[in-house]
Chains A and B, each alone.
Chain A
Amino acid sequence: MDASIGNVSRPRSGEGFWLWIVKILAGGLILFLLGLHFVANHLVAPEGLMSYKDVLAYYQNPIIPIIEILFLVTVLAHALLGFRGIILDLNPPAQLLKLLDWIFIFAGVASSAYGIWLVMVVVARGTG
């Protein structure tokens, strides 16, 4: 009964070792990047980035766009792989899974592109 906490996270059928390990490592990286994201955005940044002007000024430091884009891509990978894991546990038909995989890939690429575009727009505006 309760001894089943001996179960550990393993690659699911249809997931494969690489997607599983990417999900685990992305999780670890997120702990680090989220900490950085929070400390930078809410403690170091003056006023906690609560105005448009503050955000623009903040993004003039070249390290910030790099951290934020890296953070975005890592979180997207972890979130989409995690969501796919939930779908896998519901034993979807192979055809459906194939379609969903394309949707996940599209969502990941489109969201990354959108985020990178947004960062570029903010950086390009200078200090307002």
Chain B
Amino acid sequence: MENQASAKHWLKWFDPRNRSVSTWAFILNRVTGLGLTLYLFLHLMMLGQLAKGPEAYNGFIALVKNPIFTFGEVLVVTAGIIHGLNGIRVGLAGVGIGARYQRSMFYILFLLAVILSIYFAAKMLLGA
């Protein structure tokens, strides 16, 4: 594959030309996965405030009510929805279920992810 990026030619990773829908699905899964992993470790560190007592934890909660953090949370929720729904397709196809219908599955799950993400983003940004 001409557009297959290698570690040596990493600049090509950022070349969006000649990508197939499977490549986009793959990229989407990786980028959201990396983001969620980063969030996991941040989340664990931040919850450490619980051990320091009520002032520390309540102060932290007051801090994350700032809209910047809410925006970050919207990103996390969106990434989680995309990764989780797309992951259903990846897992099923991996064990041999519906591998022939992956493209339709991807489109349907991605559409569902977009709808759910918009719903939760609206709820989180406007609801509070």
Say what secondary structure dominates the interface of chain A: helix
Contact with B along A20-62 (1 / 0, CB 8 A): 1000100110110010000000000000001111010000000
A9–B55 alpha-carbon span in the complex (Å)? 47
Size range of the interface on B?
Answer: 35 or more
Query: In this assembly, does B16 line the interface, its C-beta being within 8 Å of a C-beta of chain A?
Result: no
Say what secondary structure dominates the interface of chain B: helix
CB neighbours (8 Å) of A24 from chain B are 90-91, 94-95
A86–B51 alpha-carbon span in the complex (Å)? 34
Residues of A within 8 A of B (CB): 1-2, 4-10, 20, 24, 27-28, 30-31, 34, 50-53, 55, 72, 75-76, 79, 82-83, 86, 90-91, 111, 114-115, 118, 121-122, 128
Name 23 A/B residue pairs within 8 A (Cβ), A-sorted.
A1-B20, A2-B22, A5-B20, A5-B22, A5-B103, A8-B90, A8-B102, A9-B90, A9-B94, A24-B90, A24-B91, A34-B84, A51-B57, A51-B61, A52-B57, A79-B37, A79-B40, A86-B30, A90-B7, A111-B41, A111-B44, A118-B47, A118-B50
Residues of B within 8 A of A (CB): 7, 20-23, 25, 30, 33-34, 36-37, 40-41, 44, 47-48, 50-51, 53-54, 57-58, 61, 80, 84, 87-88, 90-91, 93-96, 99-100, 102-103, 106
